[in-house]
Structure 1
Amino acid sequence: MDVLRYESIGFLLGVTYRRISHFVSIRLRELDLTPEQFAVLLRLREQDGINQKEIAARTAKDQPTTARILDVLLRKELIEKKVSEADRRAFLIYLTEKGKAFTEQAIPLEEQALKEMLAGIDPEHLQLFKEILLTIQTNINQDITE
């Protein structure tokens, strides 16, 4: 593991992201959910009845990936699509009762995984780390839009 200590921040973030994702996926496996599917369910729990484009933005996924995730969640009967009253060409996505129950079951699993991952980290350091990550995102977004 010492070999990773001196690698670039991008490499370290990538490795850490993949390990976190794998760790959480192990915890969600008992519900047959992936972290990506869970992220969509959480966004719908926050605001039900949003469109695919909004879900993609809120989960930081591209639209084709979001469409695939939504197809799986539809097959599992965790979400449903309804025609928008405002625009008959558009669909809004809603959690089903089964989807709501799955989301409520998954939340403690993810929370426990996060608790284990963050064990031993000072809350002030964790807050600083989040601020640094947000600053990096802001810097990247500014560079992309210029």
Structure 2
Amino acid sequence: MSENNPGKLLCNPKNLTGVFELITKINRRYEKIQRKNIQNLNLTPSQHMILRQLWESDGRQFKDLAECCECTRPTITGVIDTMESNLLVTRESNPKDRRSLLVKLTDKGKNLKNDTPQLETMVNGCCSGINQEEIETLGQLLQK
């Protein structure tokens, strides 16, 4: 971090290596903020990531959650097993494909969204110098 700006990460994003180093540092900072905010809710980062996906669009297939979370189906199954035993999610038959199951939020899982706005506020505070258009451009560039 810079002495003049304690929140600013030091690296040289003039080449791809520098950009990847910066992304890694940003990710570590985000994970630290995330862990701090979800520890009181007895959630793991993986569980929180799945909840965020379901808050955005409830009733997701395992393969979709695995893809969004960048992990394997067996890993997602283990996380979902724990979340189901904690009454955060349920598994329901997919009316469009009886061979697959959908992961759906319980009321308890839905209500956790109200307990986590602080994380969004802290992340937004870290990015206060970036406007919405720049955030969208960055997202588009990173998805290429």
Q: TM tier, shorter chain?
A: 0.7 to 0.9
* 1:28 and 1:109 in contact (8 A); partners too: no
Higher RCO (C-alpha under 8 Å, 6+ residues apart):
1
Identify the residue that residue 36 of structure 1 maps to in structure 2.
46
Q: How does 1:1-146 map to 2 (within 5 A)?
A: 1=1, 4-6=10-12, 8-106=18-116, 108-119=117-128, 121-123=129-131, 127-138=133-144
Compared CA separation, residues 90 and 122, structure 1 to 2 (3 A): closer
Compared CA separation, residues 136 and 85, structure 1 to 2 (3 A): closer
Looking at secondary structure, tell me which structure has more helix per residue.
1
Aligned partner of residue 95 in structure 2, secondary structure: coil
Question: What CA deviation, in whole Å up to 9, does each residue of 1:81-140 have, x standing for no partner?
Answer: 01223333211111011111112222x122222133224x142xx6325413422321xx
CA shift, 1:28, in A, is 1.4
CA RMSD of aligned residues (A): 2.4
- Residues matched between the structures, number: 134
Distance 1:64 1:23 in 2: 27
Which runs of 5 or more residues in structure 1 are unaligned? 139-146
Give aligned-pair identity as a percent. 25
Q: One-letter code of the match for 2:75?
A: T
Identify the residue that residue 144 of structure 1 maps to in structure 2.
none
Identify the residue that residue 143 of structure 1 maps to in structure 2.
none
Which runs of 5 or more residues in structure 2 are unaligned? 3-8
Distance 2:126 2:82 in 1: 28
Q: Answer with 68-77 or 128-137: which moved more.
A: 128-137
Q: One-letter code of the match for 1:78?
A: L
